[in-house]
Amino acid sequence: MNSLNKVWPDRATFKKNYQDGKSQLVGLALIADTQTPVSAYLRLAGGKPYTFLLESVTGGEVLGRYSAIGMEPDLLWSSNGHKATLRDTKGNIVEKSDDAVTHLKSLVAKAKIDAVPDDAPPMLASGWFGYMGYGMVHLVEPTVPDTKPDNIGIPDSVMMRPTLMAVFDNIRQVVHLAVPVRDTSGDADKTYDAAVTRLMAAKQTLIYGDLPLADRGSNVSTPIAIKPHTDEAQYLKMVSRAKEDILAGEIFQVVLSQRFSADFDLSAADLYRSLRRLNPSPFLVLMTLDGYSLIASSPEIMVRVRKGEVTIRPIAGTRPRGKTREQDEALATELLADPKECAEHLMLLDLGRNDVGRVAAIGSVKVTERFTVEKYSHVMHIVSNVVGQLDKNVHPLDALFAGFPAGTVSGAPKVRAMQIIDELEGERRSFYAGCIGYLDGNGDVDTCIALRTALLKDGKLYVQSGAGIVADSVPASEHQECVNKAKALFRAAEDALDLSKVQS
């Protein structure tokens, strides 16, 4: 597949795979030195429902090698509680299940691509993309109550199986287009021709398609009015109550969150363009679903499974970036010398090691990075890295749920912390503290935590943020931490609103 502007595989190879009953990709690589992942998304997907763009910025400064665009799914999976529904894109129900986790495992297995070129970029052959909200925890930890109202009204989880992928190689300046062919029951020549026709149409759109940009100004004034869903006095009471539980020995730490909202009358793509510029992060997400969108700049892996290796990468402990190199280094030294930050990070590192150990082969769990300072565009964090070899009897999806939700958005011990979260927080977390990512039919999983994430629905922007409460937490400081974290997304919203008025 190294050749540019040449469809792969050739017809003879495709027909041989097809006749052997093998699922495969039909692909095409193009020079993309005049394109960006954002412009390609706007041209190919145009913000249509069930489309996405995934990007990565390393260290807040270097664009990750690969960016992925997915569109035109043939199947949509959603769940609420234990009940799951599989639909086609016309909304027709294909299957129903009362066991969402088992059902999703079976769908992931069916998404497997048998014939994938050795040099195919990541995500090109991945099966299911989407999000799993915090509510999925009630499927894997039944002792955690689910008593609070759902004030947003989206499914617990939605996954889509795209039939057209575009993966950018940002180093080689090449975009790989691919159409998966899983059904081998028809005519091989007609199937091949149909796939090639779709690739050529996508190529034409990429090269000659219009670039749809916001053509109107916003009616929302800036600075935007941010509405807290929990008043400050109530949040301070929540923190004080959590500290009582800590002093009583119930938990060591709990993450208490609160939601904020504001009016926003532009598109999700408008917000994403501002967010990726102002707050570049390791996991940048633009995902448009049916009537709502997720826009994220998450710094943290939830769980990754790659070629049988499980990774959890806890992040806890924060300082702002310095204005000079010397100031930057001084802040990093100060961060590693802070006993509260280090104690909290150690607790979450131990939790990550335990989560990996639940699904890894005995003796394979290792801490490959310990208390490393990782620098992003605006902040620096203490980061550790835990890996283990997935036990051969464990499904990759079980590895995801072993670390779900992350300790950095729940607490320790995790189950008791989540029980306290349900007691103290005022509304269901919905998308917040769940995960966004993909499940590969060939056994890989890659997810980020849904934090520093906004939900856009019905002209409202919802942002949720939390603070880790420990024994010596100061309630007012923890409240301010939530406000500061949320403001990063609202600043991006204000930037998008201001830009729309200038451009119009």
Catalytic residues: 381, 408, 432, 452, 468
Question: What's the Cα-to-Cα distance from 254 to each of 169, 218, 352, rounded to whole Å?
Answer: 40, 39, 15
Residue 115 pairs in a beta bridge with 24
Question: What's the Cα-to-Cα distance from 72 to each of 104, 179, 231, rounded to whole Å?
Answer: 20, 10, 42
List strand residue ranges (DSSP E) for 213-351, in order: 227-228, 253-263, 283-288, 292-298, 301-306, 309-312, 315-320
Sign of CA dihedral 10, 126, 457, 482: negative
Coil/strand/helix, residue 454: strand
Residue 167 pairs in a beta bridge with 68, 176
Tell me whether residue 87 is exposed, middle or buried, using C-beta atoms within 10 angstroms of its C-beta: 0 to 12, 13 to 18, 19 or more: middle
Q: Please, what's the b/e burial string for 346-358 (b: 16 or more CB within 10 A of its CB; e: otherwise)?
A: bbbbbbbbbbbbb
Helices and strands per DSSP (H, E), number in the chain? 12, 24
Element (H, E) at 29: strand 24-31
Q: Which residues contact 438 (CB under 8 A, 6 or more apart)?
A: 54, 123, 126, 127, 128, 129, 130, 445, 446, 447
**Amino acid letter, 372:** T
Distance separating alpha carbons of residues 332 and 430, to the nearest angstrom: 34
Q: Which two tokens stand for residue 297?
A: 């700049």
Q: Which residues contact 55 (CB under 8 A, 6 or more apart)?
A: 37, 63, 64, 67, 276, 284
Question: What's the Cα-to-Cα distance from 185 to each of 19, 151, 182, 211, 490, rounded to whole Å?
Answer: 9, 45, 9, 38, 50
Sign of CA dihedral 3, 8, 10, 12: positive
Distance separating alpha carbons of residues 180 and 76, to the nearest angstrom: 16
Sign of CA dihedral 408, 412, 418, 420: negative
Q: Which of 68, 19, 21 is nearest to 45 (CA)?
A: 68
Distance separating alpha carbons of residues 86 and 100, to the nearest angstrom: 10
Distance separating alpha carbons of residues 495 and 223, to the nearest angstrom: 10
Say if CB 381 and CB 468 are below 8 A apart.
no
Distance separating alpha carbons of residues 73 and 96, to the nearest angstrom: 18
